[in-house]
Every structure is written in C-alpha cells, then in structure tokens.
Amino acid sequence: MTLLPDAAIRIRRMRIDEDLDGIGAVDAASFTNPWTRDMYLWEAAHSDVARVFVAVHDEAGIVAYCAVWVVFDELQVNNLAVLPAWRARGLARRLLAEVFRAARDEGATCATLEVRASNAPAIALYEGLGFVRTAIRAGYYTHPVEDAWIYWRHDLDPVELA
Ligand SMILES: CC(C)(COP(=O)(O)OP(=O)(O)OC[C@H]1O[C@@H](n2cnc3c(N)ncnc32)[C@H](O)[C@@H]1OP(=O)(O)O)[C@@H](O)C(=O)NCCC(=O)NCCS
C-alpha cells in the first residue's frame, strides 16, 4: 500500500458553506443511494453529536469524507467514502485514524458501524482495523436489498497506519 504524502492531503471537519458539493461528488461516485444535501445540513445542525470529516487535497479538493456520531462513550461510523481514483492508497485508514483520535479526545471508548454484506473492500478495511462482526440485520439496505453486517470495536486505540 502506498501512503499519501502528508503535505498533499489535510483532514479537517466539514465546513457546511463550502464542502457540500465536494462531499456530494464523493457520495455520488460511491453509493447507489447517496445522502442528500438535506441530510448533511441535518448533520451540521446537530453538532452536539454529528461530526463530518473531509480529506482535502491541495489541488483536487475533497477526495474522501467520513460522517460519524459521537454519543457519550460510543463512536458510530455512519458513512465513509473515497473518490474511486483515490482508493487503495491508505486514505480511508488515515481518515479513520483521525476520526478515532478526535472521538477519543471527546471521550469515546468504542466504535460501531454497519456495512453491506457484499462490500468486500469495506469489510476488509474494518476487520483490518480490529472491528468484529457481532450481528446481521436482515434486508436492512435498499437499492439493492441486502443484509447489513454490524461491527464493533471495543477500544479506540490508535490505528496503525504503516
Ligand atoms: C471502502 C473504501 C472506503 C476504502 O477506501 P480506501 O481509501 O481505498 O482504503 P485504504 O486504501 O485505506 O485501504 C485500507 C484497507 O482496506 C482494505 N481494502 C481497501 N480496498 C480494498 C479492495 N478493493 N479489496 C480488498 N480490500 C480492500 C484493505 O484491507 C486495505 O489494507 P491494505 O492496503 O493494507 O491491504 C472505498 O473502497 C470506498 O469509498 N468504497 C465505496 C464506499 C463504501 O463502500 N464505503 C463504506 C461504507 S460502509
């Protein structure tokens, strides 16, 4: 895996006034039923729990994002996507490492997420980060209908990037 040079990509919190188009482009390229602008506006309005992080390249703009909730001691990863041309370079792992660090700083001690049963790249990513499958939610997803696999990670120790 090639790690991205730190200087080219910065990870920061979403700025609602300037990031929605970039996040929408990542979503449209990544999901069959992407989030709408209203969903991101909801996230911004509920900043007591909702956090959206973006990975911004100096020239290409937003190349990845991750939407989470931090609820008491629990981090819930709601959405994560990387533009197709920027995949397989360690970007999702680096973004999650930053998300975990920020959540730990807020008091989160564990993390959970759900993933389509057929999403082999995401499952490999999460299992590689120590997430363990704990349940299956039958027929949870639409477009197409598919089971969700529920994962937990019971500590938020720093993610190994190398
Ligand atoms: C899943 C996704 C976020 C991974 O992003 P990425 O930046 O390419 O991932 P990374 O380069 O950080 O890879 C980290 C690990 O994930 C796994 N992985 C990533 N892409 C993979 C692929 N195509 N096949 C198998 N494993 C893969 C590997 O374990 C990899 O570690 P390695 O490089 O040491 O083998 C990206 O493929 C994506 O945006 N997919 C569409 C949206 C999506 O499915 N999001 C997840 C919703 S739950």
| pLDDT band, very low/low/confident/very high, at 33 (cuts 50, 70, 90) | confident
CATH code of 6-110, in short, is 3.40.630.30
- Greatest alpha-carbon pair distance for the chain in Å reads 43
| pLDDT band, very low/low/confident/very high, at 162 (cuts 50, 70, 90) | very low
- 122-126 — which CB contacts under 8 Å span 24+ positions? 122/80, 123/149, 125/92, 125/93, 125/96, 126/151
- Could you give the CA distance from residue 53 to residue 11 in angstroms, rounded to a whole number? 7
Pocket perturbation via mutation, ligand 1, pick of 114, 125, 126 by most ligand atoms within 8 A of CB: 125
123: which 2 tokens? 């499952």
β-pair type (50-57, 61-71):
antiparallel
CB distance 30 to ligand 1 below 6 Å = yes
Instruction: Report the percent of the chain where pLDDT is more than 90.
Output: 78
**pTM for the whole thing?**
0.94
- Could you give the CA distance from residue 159 to residue 92 in angstroms, rounded to a whole number? 11
Query: How confident is the model at residue 1, as a pLDDT?
Result: 52
Pocket perturbation via mutation, ligand 1, pick of 82, 89, 113, 137 by most ligand atoms within 8 A of CB: 82
Q: Where are the domains of the chain?
A: 6-110
Output the CA 104–ligand 1 centroid distance in Å.
23
Amino acid, single-letter form, for residue 37: R
Which of 100, 97, 62, 65 shows the shortest CA–CA distance to 81? 65
User: If 0-12 CB within 10 Å is exposed, 13-18 middle and 19+ buried, where does residue 65 land?
Assistant: buried
40-61: pLDDT as tens digits: 898 888 889 999 999 999 999 9
80-105: pLDDT as tens digits: 999 999 999 999 999 999 999 999 99
Cβ(133)–Cβ(114) under 8 Å? no
Query: How confident is the model at residue 82, as a pLDDT?
Result: 98
